[in-house]
């Protein structure tokens, strides 16, 4: 069959179509990737479910003008057909250093799971809802995430690995989050996703010799999708000012900022070879991504974390060391392993509290949240 005529997830108009097209590809026997994607730990991407009825009841009237502009832009679908291999695809798995290959595959599987986690949640909201504003948005976002996940799976297939998306949908455990937590967590993950991808993209523009795999060439359009998704959640939060102004919700926002930032820090430090190959200092990269994300989230959050506070970096490093201790103790097993694991977990908890209690920086939130991807 001519590759250009084969329907591909990148041109799919809906998430369902994109997933079906990925599922129709020849199956691979490798089950490891799906097993990794099935893992549910504090550090691995999860699948979420929520109170869809409550979300369906959102009235976007207070942000109507910005809402319609955003939906029109997403409907115009500038990235249709983009997430597909082309002549610029020059992947060379054979000559990749095995240690790098292992970390890179881990990175791709975790990214694919995260993309697909968004897809599953958005698709479900679209399916359950009856509010046209809401279902239209979630259908468009699910479409994008299915394309992203499909594209990563295309990349993985060449390494003899693929994530079984249909199996994941049915078998992975779903975590319940009430809608407001979905807004905070998903908004942040979309915006930090943008900041991560654009930081790598810009770095590789300056150092093209470090681009060890072609997928990074697709990161600019990719992160623009994530940016739009984040814009949508900013608007959803602005329909109800309490979500970002009440005392207790500000504490929740701070909690999610701290949790998302520190999880990213630990995860990235687990992939030293990957970052070295990219020529990226992982500590610089973490702080740079936090800086961009903080700048963006000022559009809707009244606080940002003080990432230049003396306790910040110290705390992150301690968290990272403790998480390594927990992982090693888990492997060791036995009474000593258990003792070391509990001690590590206590350090993680205490350090998280220390990070959480660093005074936040306060901001005045602008009247309009509208922002363009500027990095």
Binding site for Fe ion (CB under 5 A): 115, 145, 148, 190, 226, 229
- Maximum alpha-carbon separation in the chain: 61
CB 324 within 8 A of CB 266: no
Nearer to Fe ion, 124 or 190 (CB): 190
Rounded-to-integer distance, Cα 245 and Cα 290, Å:
22
Tokens encoding 227: 């940016």
Nearer to Fe ion, 101 or 229 (CB): 229
Nearer to Fe ion, 143 or 238 (CB): 143
Among candidate residues 149, 27, 160, the one with its CA nearest the CA of residue 83:
149
CB of 148 to Fe ion, least distance (A): 4
Nearer to Fe ion, 154 or 226 (CB): 226
CB of 232 to Fe ion, least distance (A): 9
Tokens encoding 201: 């993209």
CB of 350 to Fe ion, least distance (A): 33
CB 252 within 8 A of CB 237: no
Q: Are strands 47-49 and 174-176 parallel, antiparallel or unpaired?
A: parallel
Tokens encoding 97: 């250093």
Tokens encoding 261: 């930032």
Rounded-to-integer distance, Cα 215 and Cα 9, Å:
16
CB of 115 to Fe ion, least distance (A): 4
Nearer to Fe ion, 67 or 312 (CB): 67
Tokens encoding 189: 């993950």
Nearer to Fe ion, 222 or 312 (CB): 222
Residue 297 has, within 13 A of its CA and on its CB side, a CA count of 32
CB of 106 to Fe ion, least distance (A): 18
CB of 228 to Fe ion, least distance (A): 8
């Amino acid at each position: 069959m001519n590759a250009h005529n084969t329907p591909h997830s990148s041109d799919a108009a809906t998430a369902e179509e994109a997933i079906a097209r990925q599922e129709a590809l020849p199956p691979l026997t490798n089950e490891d990737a799906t097993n990794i994607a099935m893992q549910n730990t504090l550090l691995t991407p999860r699948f979420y479910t929520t109170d869809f009825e409550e979300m369906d009841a959102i009235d976007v009237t207070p942000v109507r003008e910005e809402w319609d502009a955003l939906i029109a832009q997403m409907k115009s679908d500038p990235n249709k057909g983009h997430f597909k291999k082309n002549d610029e695809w020059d992947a060379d798995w054979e000559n990749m250093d095995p240690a790098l290959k292992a970390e890179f595959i881990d990175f791709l599987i975790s990214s694919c799971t995260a993309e697909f986690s968004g897809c599953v949640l958005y698709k479900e909201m679209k399916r359950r809802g009856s509010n046209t504003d809401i279902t239209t948005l979630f259908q468009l976002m699910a479409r994008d995430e299915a394309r992203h996940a499909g594209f990563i799976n295309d990349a993985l297939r060449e390494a003899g690995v693929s994530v079984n998306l249909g199996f994941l949908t049915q078998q992975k455990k779903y975590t319940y989050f009430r809608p407001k937590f979905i807004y905070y967590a998903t908004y942040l993950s979309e915006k930090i996703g943008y900041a991560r991808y654009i930081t790598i993209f810009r770095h590789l523009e300056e150092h093209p010799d470090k681009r060890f795999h072609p997928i990074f060439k697709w990161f600019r359009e990719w992160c623009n999708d994530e940016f739009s998704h984040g814009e949508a959640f900013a608007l959803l939060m602005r329909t109800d000012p309490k979500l970002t102004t009440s005392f207790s919700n500000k504490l929740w926002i701070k909690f999610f900022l701290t949790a998302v930032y520190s999880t990213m820090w630990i995860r990235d430090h687990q992939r030293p070879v990957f970052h070295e190959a990219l020529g990226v200092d992982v500590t610089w990269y973490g702080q740079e991504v936090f800086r961009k994300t903080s700048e963006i989230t000022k559009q809707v959050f009244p606080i940002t974390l003080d990432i230049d506070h003396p306790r910040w970096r110290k705390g992150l490093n301690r968290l990272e060391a403790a998480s390594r201790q927990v992982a090693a103790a888990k492997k060791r097993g036995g009474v000593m392993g258990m003792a070391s694991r509990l001690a590590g977990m206590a350090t993680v908890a205490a350090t998280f509290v220390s990070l959480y209690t660093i005074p936040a920086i306060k901001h005045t939130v602008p009247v309009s949240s509208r922002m363009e991807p500027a990095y």
